[in-house]
A and B are shown apart, each in its own frame.
Chain A
Amino acid sequence: MIDRPALQPVASAKPRLRIIDCDIHPTLHSRADLNPFLAKRWQEHLKTYGDHLRIPYVGTTPYPRSQPLIARPDAWPPAGGPPGSDVVYMRQRHLDPLDIEFGILQVLDLFIFSQQNLDFGAAIQRAINEWQLAHWTSREPRLKASILVGQDDTELAVAEIERCARVGKYVQINVSPRANEPLGRHRYWPIYARAQELGLPLGIHVGGYGGHAPTGGGWPSYYAEEHQSNVHTMAAQLTSLVIEGVPERFPKLKIVFIEAGFGWIPSAMWRMDQHYERFWTEVPHLKRRPSDYVRDHFWFTTQPIDEPDDARHLRALIDWVGVDRLLFASDYPHGDCDDPHSAIKTPLTEVERAKIFNRNARELYQLG
């Protein structure tokens, strides 16, 4: 939201509950930050040819957004640089006042997953994976890095996962929700096999440009439509992963949907289950009801939190999804970021709060 006041530390009578924030966006101060991690060849490439994306412009996103860099106005560091680029300022403004115990980094810079030149994409992903450690996690140990890989060159993706796994320190493997093909397709399975072996959750953060229209009906005109299409993307990915049989084939794989909210999950499960009764002969590789796979294999970050007018409706929604499936996320420093102390506007028990704000993520990512 654009009119929300700045975050303030909240005095509360409730017992102290430290927060695990599953969606924090660190940002490059400038692209030159990556030079130490890029071969000369790719430094030159970046300068000369830049991004090659499936969007019409070189200098901005296809749908102009609601505020610069979609950042909350108070997130711009006084020392300069874009929001999310200053670890000290992030500590002062976000990690300390909100009592963040751990934060999972989700890098979105450089349309990291959407590069058409897959070799360049892999070089950028590797550089950003190294930059996360050098600039963030080594300076602020509460922050945890993810291994970013582009799935469309699956071989390079697996190689980068191996490299990062040798380094250690990473808590998640991130792939794109918008690539050449749906994530359930078999060509991507080597990534899931490796994730399962390493015990690292597969993270899927909304966004990116895969070249397909954002909706099944074509290209929208407005950012309001394109923004909400991210939910549709994630619903389609949930369907693809479940129905292609990814959780059936990889029974220990854990999958995290990030920044898609969770309001749409119950209906997605009901709909999958209802029509499974008609379509199961098409997908005989499935051995369980689709919703059973969702409840055992998928986690969902809370932001952007749904805001029904009636708090009881949010409560019903949480019960439908299941408290065990939810991970608190702020989306700092973006404009619609959620404050852990006020975002969930419906009563929760202490146990439920502990799960959503800390324990679920602690167990999933094996933190602390």
Chain B
Amino acid sequence: MPAPRIDCDIHPAVGGTRTTLLPYLDDYWKEQVLSRAIDGLDLASYPPDMPLSGRADWRPAKGKPGSDLAMVQRGAFDQLGASHAICNVLYGAQAVYDPSMAAAFCKAINDWIAAEWLSRDTRLRASILVPLQAPDLAIEEIERRADDIRFVSVLVLAQGESLLGRRHYWPVWQAAEKHRLPLAIHAGSQYRSAPSSIGWPSYRYEYYLAEAQAFQAQILSLVYEGVFVKFPGLKVVLMESGVSWLPAFMWRANKTWRSVRVEVPWIDREPASIIRDHFRLTIQPFDSPPDAASVADLIEMIGSDQMLLFASDYPHWQFDGADAIPKHLPASLVSRMCLDNPLDTFPRFALAA
């Protein structure tokens, strides 16, 4: 049996609310989605036909990439060599404006993933989708899943209604910390405001690139608001964030903090030190420099072998072939990021479920 290797970011796809999710909705929402034709909630961040959303050889003959369990098993496990994988569902429940509807859809997705994925393959784990639109309902959903240790993290989008460090979210983070669930922030937007301060871009390509800056803003928000002072056990996983921006971002954060730290007196050490302790990043995409020497420099600049987590981003098309590990990474780091780091980051993760 090959060495255990945990893929921290794969994406099973929801067909629709009137199909996949219908059995998991209560009578009221069943009637709602049918009579009002509430469906088609694929996130604008990932239109299913866009090349990035599904590698050609991972697209089923029928349906969306990631919608067929057997195909996902062949890709993520047989081809890419993972022993376990964490399912992060990106269907648009989190982007719904109506908080009750958002809660109903998140609950349905969580029930669906438990029944039709986790229960059919013991190698799979999942993140809990929560309706952050209503923090109280998000906490209810976390509590509902808390006893099922196959759920290993709480999933939110990188671009939501407000920055994630803001205090109205703190009760949600408190619940996550209590149940040893890291906060997984995945690329994607609720399309509430422009993806950057310059306004709305023309192309999806620009939108995707801007995700890196959104992640950086979330780091600063979580750090400066004092979330880790309040919840020292909380870990945050940045998923599909890109990695190579991290060192220069940390240098600038340190420099800025040295100048204006009077504003946030509860932050008593450099942001980079807090970031290294509390943040983890999945390694696809890596956005790496082309040559080995530069990759070595970059890894040295990151300054921690604890931060990177193996992930394929299946079925998203981040790389070709059967090796999801970016080129030129040192073997010791690869070994850590495939097993030790995921197990440290997701403390509920038990290899034998």
Listed in ascending order, the chain A residues whose CB lies under 8 Å from chain B are 1-2, 65-66, 177-185, 210, 212-225, 227-229, 231-233, 235-237, 239-240, 243-244, 261, 263-264, 266-268, 270-272, 274-276, 278-279, 281-283, 304, 306-308, 313, 316-317, 320, 335-336
Contact = CB atoms under 8 A, between A and B. Distances in A.
Nearest to A218: B162
A193 B291 CA distance: 37
Given A1-B259, A236-B213, A306-B255, 13 more contacts: A179-B199, A182-B206, A215-B163, A216-B217, A217-B164, A218-B161, A218-B192, A220-B224, A232-B196, A232-B216, A236-B197, A275-B209, A279-B204
Contacts of B200: 181-182
A274 to B, nearest CB: 5
Given A266-B289, A270-B289, A178 B198 contact: yes
B212 interface: yes
A284 B162 CA distance: 35
Given A210-B197, A275-B52, A232 B205 contact: no
Given A1-B258, A229-B197, A239 B210 contact: yes
A184 to B, nearest CB: 7
Nearest to B296: A316
B73 interface: no
Contact of B301 (A220, A283, A313): A313
Contacts, number: 240
A306 B251 contact: yes
Contact of B256 (A227, A243, A266, A320): A227
Interface of B: 51-52, 158-166, 189, 192-206, 208-214, 216-218, 220-221, 224-225, 242, 244-245, 247-249, 251-264, 285, 287-290, 294, 297, 300-301, 317
Most interface-central of A279, A282, A304 (chain B CB within 10 A):
A279
B260 A223 contact: yes
B260 A215 contact: no
Most interface-central of A261, A271, A272, A275 (chain B CB within 10 A):
A271
Contacts of B262: 66
A267 B297 contact: no
A101 to B, nearest CB: 28
Given A219-B162, A283-B205, A316-B294, A228 B256 contact: yes
A198 B271 CA distance: 45
Given A270-B288, A282-B204, A220 B198 contact: no
A224 B209 contact: no
A275 B285 contact: yes
Contact of A270 (B159, B287, B317): B287
